[in-house]
Structure 1
Amino acid sequence: MKVLKSKKTLIDYVERQREMGKKIGFAPTMGALHRGHLSLYKAAKKENDEVISSIFVNPTQFNNPDDFQKYPKTLEKDLELLEKAGVDAVYVPNVEEMYPDGLNSKKYDFDGLENEMEGKYRPGHFDGVGTIVEELFRQVQPHNAYFGEKDYQQLAIIKKMIEKTKLPVKIHGVPTLREEDGLAMSSRNVRLTETQRKEATIIYETLTKVKEWFKVISLEEIKQKVTDIFRNSNFELEYFVIADEETLKEANAIDEDKKYRAFIVAYADTVRLIDNMHLG
C-alpha cells in the first residue's frame, strides 16, 4: 500500500492509474478507523480497480475546539487496518496541503439541507465538510466515492455538492455497521467509559422502537416517548427528529408517497453520539 503525503505525489499516482485505464474508488476518513470504515473499502473493491483512502482530521468542520483536540489520532494502527483491507493507496496530507491559503471554508448553498438538524446545532459545519471533500475529490479524481449512512445528512450534503459542482464522481451510501448490541460504530465510541458504553445501546433500542411506533401512533406521541426515555437515562438528548429522507425537513404529518428516517443525537457526558434509521 502506497502512503502519499503530498498533493504532488498523490496527483502523480492518480494520473498513472488513470493512464492505465483503472477505475478509482475513494473513501475519505478522519482516521481512528473501525470496521465501519473498512466496510466502505469492501464496497469500493467490488466496483473499482484501484481503491484509495485518505486520513485528514479537518479542523473547519469542528464547532467545538475541544472536540477537535480530543479527536482520536491512531495513524499507525489506521495504516495497518487499511493495508489488511486491501486498500491500494492512502493520502495523508497535512493542513498546509489542504488549506494553502489558511483555514477558511468555502460558502455553499445546499438547497436548505445544511439548515436542518446538524446545521442548527453546528453552524458552518457543512461548509467545512463541503470544502474538504470537494478539494479531496479534485485531487484524487475518483470515479466512485463511498460514505457511511450513519452520517446520513453528510451523505445527502455531499450528493448535493456533486449536483451543484458537476464533479464527475458517483456517490455511494454504505449501510451503517453496528456492534453486536446495535450501537453504531463510531470513532468516538472509544471515548466512552465502560458504563457509558453499556448504556449507549439506548440509542439503537430507541430507534428500533420508533420504527415500530411509526406505524401505529402519532408523531407527537413518538416524540414524547423518546423524550421520556432519555429523561430517565444518563444520556442527554440533543435532538430527535423524524425527517423526510429527501429534504431532511422535520415531518409534521406523514405523506404515503415520501420516505422517512429517524435521527437521534445524544451526549454521554461530553461524547456526542449520532445515529439514524430508515422507518419504512
Structure 2
Amino acid sequence: MSPDEFDLAEPTLTSDDLLVLEDPHFGPETTAVVTGAASGIGQATAVALAANGLSVIGADIDDAGLQETIDIADDVDASGEVYSVPTDLTDDADVETMIDIAAEEGELRYVANIAGMQHIASLPKFPIEKYDLLLDIMLRAPFLTAKHAMAHVRDTDDGVGAIGNMSSVHGHYATQDKPAYITAKHGLKGLTRAIAAEGEGTLRGFSVSVGYVLTPLMVNQIEDTATERGISEREVVEDVMLGQARTKELMTPAEVANLFVFGFSRHSKHLNGGDLLWDGGYTTTYE
C-alpha cells in the first residue's frame, strides 16, 4: 500500500458493537422500517434494531445486499427478524407498499430514513438529473414514507413511535462540491421538525447528524473527491474529512446505528424535532 492510500475496508459488525436496551415496545410485535438496509449505516441499523427484538422491514433496491443484512443479523444472534423488502424509493407505489408490508407484519412504530447517495461536482457543473435523483431518494422519499407511516403509528394503542431521519454535518454547514447532498440534508431537518409538530407528543421526529462514516458510499466519495480536487486519497481523509474534526477517527456504521436505537427507545421521549449531533467537533469548534 502506498503512502497515499488507506485501508478503507468496512469493519465487520459483531454483537459487541450493538446497543441493546430494555423498552416495552422493543419486541417482535413491533415493526420498524429501515431504508438503505442493504449496506452501510442502513444495514447496521437494521441489524441493531433486530438485535433489540424488533421485526425489521429492510428496504433497498439491492436484493443481494438485503440478504447479506439478514445473514449478519443471524450471525449476531439477533432476537428479532429482518425481512427483505426490495424497494425503489423513486417509485411512489413501492414506497407505499413498503409501509403496507410493515403494517401487516405487526404494529408499525418506527421508521429510519437512511437511504442516501452522493455525487461530487461543483454547483455549475452539477448534472440536474443527479440533483433530482439525490433529492428524490434523500428528501422526497422520506417525506412520502412519513406521510404513509404516520397513520399506522397513530393507530397503535398509545400512538407511541418515532421517525428518524439520517441527516449529516452537511445538514449544519456546507462544503464544496456537494450541493445536492447539502440541500437534501438541510431539508431533512425541516421535515423532522414538521413531523414533530404534527406528532401530538407521542409520535416523535428526530434526525441524526454525524461526520464521516466508513461505508461503501464514503469510500466512493473519497475517490471522487480526490479526483475533483486533484489531491491524494490520504489527503482527502486527513485534510478534507478529518481536518476540522477534534476526534481524529472515522465513525463506524454500528456507532450510528446505536443512535437510532437510542432515538427510538423510551429513553428519548424528549427528543422531538431535535438532532442527535455526534460529529467529533466538526461543527462546534474551530481553529
Q: TM-score, normalised by structure 1?
A: 0.40
Q: TM-score, normalised by structure 2?
A: 0.39
Larger radius of gyration: 1
Higher strand fraction (1 or 2): 1
Relative contact order, CA 8 A, sep 6+: which one is greater?
2
